[in-house]
């Protein structure tokens, strides 16, 4: 798509020439009617004329996204085969790989040996302290603090523990404390259930820490907020924020009739669905709570560690993408997670979930084979998902992976004192390594990171990778964006996006040309879930638009989550409706790609669409925005961003028609919205001509009256034409604006159906 006007039809060139000849002065009073009559007369006599050229060119600042000065920062812990720490490493002993390609080490600094090695590039001065991709809000170049001055944040998180598990976790936490916290180390305590609840803010006060840990083994532990909908009013200055998991699919239930065997089967089906729903929500809640903890620390420099005490995790297939993105976000924020299995050494419990899950799937399969002519239960439809999830039911596996992917370690022991002392050592004796990726492109893909040490028999702990996203400190990855970005990273092809897309251009600013990205999602293409027991329905989808430059760097990431629902009497209206998404962006002239990603959360289905976008510079002192065919008008909300919404018109907001056929029976007029930007140095009123073409020939031409400029110096218009002017077919509308000796023009197309 092109955000500016394409080449005009030859017939319109003649119309523009007529307009040039007959409209040479002001536009007020009776003079406009005389010119209008001359315009119509000349229309019958004129030959085709040349297209007018432009002279003035707008200058824009360079695009900051195109300059890559960020580096990847890795905290690495190296131990020999006997478990002893190694902090006397040299850069020539270390190899770093980014997506399998070797990288040049910029700097290496180790904490225990109190030495720093700074690698110099050939023919240049010493490399300055780099900004971090791994820590997006790292300090500016030249101001990075020494590793000896770094602050260490330690978060103790206790998730869903039995009394026995709490006892083991409590002792492990005390073993970690030892005789006291290391210098510059601050510790906080959190409880995780449905939400993340802070029990103690970051402090180095041992007495306060021990008191908070005492709550973990106390009798009142189960009464703490988080098991119910109750939540604390404020978390104070804690780096974490409370996260309540989003909505998910509910299990359908129905009346049970027939024999006792059928009733038992129905009950089993209900319980199976209920179990899956609980597992889905639990996996989502844990992921979102960890994400909130990670994002809360993202803006902080220094070493950040999470000690995650759990009795095992089940990550359902439907939340796997979200889990992967959470671990990537931990890598981006430079957060290492140490997973501690609070059950101790209990290998039989790890495989019990796998056996139970496979037994359930086998039972469902047997029930299907023995059922003749009966209706298919909801759990029957989940048989294959049961098999896949059963394989995932080794509840230690997610704990292992969580630690491995984020540079921590997995601990399982009935007496974890030795392991916890090693964790403490990891925090006080480590090396910080920096490298700048040779071929980094902000395309949202996942980059695997590997570190090799040439000494034999060593073990290296470090994070395993990151998503290549621009360092946008105020734009964190939201949980609902996980499956969308995962689709992009994995190169997955979804079904074609079922809605409409458009990019409209508007005014020029110092940052570029103002645009509006508009998307329409027809809800009938998405999954609806009905719950007849409480007479409600729900649907849930997420939408994202990515604008990338010619080398694939993400310039803008725009998204929104839509958990929708209502009563069953609204069901048909919702299915026939659509959701309109719009975001304002600024783009400098150039070529871009627009990628649209839609994820149906209930159906686990992806839709994609890609198109090219050309942004041209405005070369005239007068300009006109994109012509928007009006679909409907909605009240302007009170949100602050609506004050600068280019689609606003008075106290209303224009909802564009995005290539949807217009039914004449639904309206009495066809409207077009656009904005004229006159030459600020010319006090005269601009003159506007409007043309409607059908099959390349004009069916309407006129000179609409142009209102006065508003307080911003522009002119917002809605031009409406009676619907009976049109019949079924395809049309083009052109607007040509003349101001002084300068011209600008715009065009849009639309389709009319009976």
Token reading at 249: 């699919």
DSSP lists the bridge partners of residue 188 as 155
Distance CA 547, CA 557 (A): 7
For residue 523, the model assigns a pLDDT of 95
- Most confidently modeled range among 29-38, 126-135, 401-410: 401-410
Match 């630690």 to its residue by tokens: 403
**What is the rounded (10 degree) CA torsion for 348, 354, 356, 362?**
-140
For the cut 60, the answer to whether the pLDDT of residue 33 exceeds it is no
Distance CA 243, CA 294 (A): 12
Q: Band of the pLDDT at 292, cuts 50, 70, 90?
A: confident
Distance CA 743, CA 619 (A): 10
84-112 per-position pLDDT tens digit: 888 788 888 999 999 899 998 888 888 76
Least confident of 158-167, 436-445, 596-605, 744-753: 436-445
CA atoms within 13 A on the CB side of 414: 3
Q: Tell me which of 623 and 334 has the higher pLDDT.
A: 623
477-488 per-position pLDDT tens digit: 676 786 777 676
CA atoms within 13 A on the CB side of 575: 12
Q: What is the mean pLDDT of residues 43-63?
A: 36
β-pairing, 495-496 vs 529-531, is: unpaired
For the cut 50, the answer to whether the pLDDT of residue 382 exceeds it is no
Token reading at 52: 């007018």
Distance CA 378, CA 380 (A): 5
Residue 370: left if φ>0, alpha if ψ -120 to 50, beta else—which one?
A: alpha
For the cut 90, the answer to whether the pLDDT of residue 306 exceeds it is yes
For the cut 60, the answer to whether the pLDDT of residue 307 exceeds it is yes
Distance CA 479, CA 284 (A): 9
Residue 405 near residue 464, CB atoms below 8 Å: yes
| Average pLDDT score over the chain | 74
For residue 260, the model assigns a pLDDT of 53
128-137 per-position pLDDT tens digit: 333 333 333 3
For residue 8, the model assigns a pLDDT of 52
For the cut 50, the answer to whether the pLDDT of residue 496 exceeds it is yes
For the cut 80, the answer to whether the pLDDT of residue 240 exceeds it is no
Residue 198 near residue 240, CB atoms below 8 Å: yes
For residue 220, the model assigns a pLDDT of 65
Task: Determine how many CB atoms are found less than 10 A away from the CB of residue 54.
Answer: 15
For residue 122, the model assigns a pLDDT of 32
Q: Tell me which of 336 and 40 has the higher pLDDT.
A: 336
Q: What is the mean pLDDT of residues 446-452?
A: 87
For residue 146, the model assigns a pLDDT of 57
Least confident of 321-325, 344-348, 355-359: 355-359
Q: How far is residue 37 CA from its own chain's centroid?
A: 55
CA atoms within 13 A on the CB side of 392: 18
SS (H, E, C) 192-216: ECCCEEEEEEEECCHHHHHHHHHHH
SS3 label, residue 383:
helix
Distance CA 477, CA 292 (A): 11
The DSSP H or E segment spanning 261 is helix 260-297
681-698 per-position pLDDT tens digit: 999 999 999 999 998 888
pTM beyond 0.75: the answer is: no
The rounded percent of the chain whose pLDDT value lies above 70 is 66
Q: Tell me which of 433 and 452 has the higher pLDDT.
A: 452
For residue 571, the model assigns a pLDDT of 92
- Closest by Cα among 700, 511, 520, 675 to 607: 520
β-pairing, 94-98 vs 101-103, is: antiparallel
Distance CA 236, CA 220 (A): 22
241-287 per-position pLDDT tens digit: 333 333 333 333 333 344 455 455 544 544 444 444 455 566 677 88
Distance CA 300, CA 333 (A): 8
């Amino acid at each position: 798509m092109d955000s500016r006007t394409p080449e005009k039809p030859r017939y319109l060139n003649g119309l523009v020439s007529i307009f040039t000849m007959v409209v040479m002065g002001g536009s007020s009073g009776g003079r406009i009617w005389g010119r209008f009559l001359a315009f119509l007369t000349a229309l019958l006599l004129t030959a085709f004329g040349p297209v007018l050229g432009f002279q003035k060119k707008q200058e824009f600042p360079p695009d900051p996204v195109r300059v890559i000065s960020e580096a990847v920062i890795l905290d690495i812990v190296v131990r020999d085969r006997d478990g002893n720490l190694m902090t006397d490493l040299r850069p020539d002993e270390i190899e770093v790989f980014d997506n399998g390609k070797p990288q040049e080490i910029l700097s290496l600094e180790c904490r225990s040996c109190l030495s720093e090695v700074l690698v110099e590039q050939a023919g240049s001065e010493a490399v300055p302290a780099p900004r971090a991709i791994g820590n997006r809000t790292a300090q500016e170049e030249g101001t990075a603090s020494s590793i000896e001055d770094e602050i260490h944040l330690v978060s103790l998180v206790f998730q869903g523990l039995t009394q026995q598990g709490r006892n083991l976790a409590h002792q492990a936490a005390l073993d970690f404390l030892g005789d006291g916290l290391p210098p510059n180390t601050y510790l906080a305590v959190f409880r995780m259930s449905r939400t993340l609840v802070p029990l103690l803010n970051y402090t180095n006060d041992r007495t306060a820490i021990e008191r908070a840990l005492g709550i973990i083994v106390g009798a009142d532990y189960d009464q703490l907020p988080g098991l119910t909908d109750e939540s604390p009013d404020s978390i104070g200055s804690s780096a974490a924020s409370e996260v309540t998991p989003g909505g998910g699919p509910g299990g359908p239930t129905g009346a049970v009739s027939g024999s006792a065997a059928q009733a038992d089967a129905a009950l089993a089906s209900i319980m199976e669905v209920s179990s899956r729903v609980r597992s889905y929500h639990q996996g989502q809640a844990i992921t979102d709570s960890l994400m909130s903890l990670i994002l809360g620390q993202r803006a902080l420099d220094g070493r950040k560690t999470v000690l995650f005490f759990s009795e095992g995790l089940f990550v359902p297939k439907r939340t796997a993408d979200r889990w992967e993105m959470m671990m990537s976000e931990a890598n981006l924020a430079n957060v290492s997670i140490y997973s501690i299995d609070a059950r101790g050494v209990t290998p039989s419990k790890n495989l019990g979930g796998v056996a139970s899950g496979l037994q359930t799937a086998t039972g469902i399969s047997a029930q299907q084979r023995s059922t003749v002519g009966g209706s298919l239960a909801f759990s029957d439809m989940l048989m294959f998902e049961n098999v896949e999830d059963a394989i995932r039911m080794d509840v230690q596996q997610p704990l292992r992976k969580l630690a491995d992917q984020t540079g921590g370690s997995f601990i399982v022991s009935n007496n974890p004192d030795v392991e916890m002392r090693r964790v403490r050592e990891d925090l006080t004796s480590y090396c910080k390594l920096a490298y700048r990726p040779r071929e980094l492109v902000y395309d949202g893909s996942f980059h695997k990171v590997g570190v090799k040490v040439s000494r034999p028999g060593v073990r290296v702990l470090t994070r395993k990778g990151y998503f290549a996203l621009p360092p946008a400190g105020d734009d964190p990855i939201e949980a609902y964006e996980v499956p969308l970005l995962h689709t992009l990273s994995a190169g997955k092809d979804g079904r074609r996006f079922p809605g409409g897309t458009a990019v409209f251009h508007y005014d020029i600013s110092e940052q570029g040309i103002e645009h509006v990205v508009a998307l329409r999602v027809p809800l009938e293409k998405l999954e609806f879930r009905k719950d007849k027991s409480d007479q409600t329905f729900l649907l849930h989808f997420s939408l994202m638009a990515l604008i990338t430059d010619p080398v694939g760097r993400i310039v803008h990431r725009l998204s929104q989550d839509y958990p929708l629902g209502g009563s069953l009497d609204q069901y048909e209206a919702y299915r026939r409706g659509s959701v309109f998404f719009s975001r304002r962006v600024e783009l400098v002239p150039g070529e871009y790609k627009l990628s649209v990603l839609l994820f149906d959360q209930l159906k686990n289905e992806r839709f994609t669409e890609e198109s090219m976008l050309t942004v041209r510079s405005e070369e005239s002192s007068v300009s006109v925005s994109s012509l928007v065919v009006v679909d409907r008008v909605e009240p302007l909300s009170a949100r602050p961003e609506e004050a600068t919404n280019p689609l606003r018109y008075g106290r209303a907001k224009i909802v564009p028609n995005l290539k949807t056929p217009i039914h004449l029976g639904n309206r009495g007029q066809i409207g077009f919205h656009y904005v004229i930007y006159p030459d600020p140095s010319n006090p005269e009123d601009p003159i506007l001509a409007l043309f409607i073409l059908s099959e390349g020939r004009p069916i309407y031409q006129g000179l609409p009256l142009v209102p006065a400029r508003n307080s911003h110096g522009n002119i917002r218009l809605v031009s409406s034409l009676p619907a009976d002017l049109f019949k079924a077919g395809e049309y083009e509308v052109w607007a040509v604006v003349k101001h002084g000796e300068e011209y600008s023009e715009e065009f849009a197309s639309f389709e009319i159906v009976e």
